[in-house]
Amino acid sequence: MLLAVLFVQEQLLAFDINVQLTVLLIAVYAAVLPPALLFPVVCGYVVLDNLFMGSFNLLYTPAMFAAWLLLAVVMRAVRAKPLGVKVAIATAFGFVYGWFFAVPFALLYGFDRLWPYLVADFFPAEVTMAVVGFLTILLLYDPLRKLLDTLYRGVRES
């Protein structure tokens, strides 16, 4: 069910690929779920996203796996840290995520086309993703974590 929520929210917010709740949801999942559940959800998300978008590519798909799994690992590691740490990581991830794709882009289209791509598309997308990550973690992380923790604890106890 958590995978469905992760995937569907992105499709509903597809008017701008950088306006999404994916960073928030992976952060919340990382705080509550054990790694044996967290990592399959993140990997399933990447597979579904690539299937739905028809974008399986040997350069970009591994970058997606690496970026989202990195976020899950880092957020899992800081799950007991103050909210400010998570906000900072989510904000930075807005920039880091894009860099996972810059190298494949340069390899695919040439390094001479990298700078125009960075200026025209990449930097604006990074800034948008960073702002969305900042705001969603700041405003929604604690209530969603408490809700998921309560729901997950109820499932474990039954």
Map out the domains of the chain as residue ranges: 2-157
**What is the sign, positive or negative, of the torsion defined by CA atoms of 61, 64, 70, 75?**
negative
pLDDT value at residue 33:
96
> How far, in Å, CA of 158 to CA of 156, rounded?
6
Tens of pLDDT, residue by residue over 110-150, are 988 888 878 877 788 889 999 999 999 999 999 999 999 99
Nearest one of 98, 86, 100 to 26, comparing CA atoms? 86
> How far, in Å, CA of 27 to CA of 84, rounded?
13
Tens of pLDDT, residue by residue over 30-65, are 999 999 999 999 999 999 999 998 778 877 899 999
CATH of domain 2-157: 1.10.1760
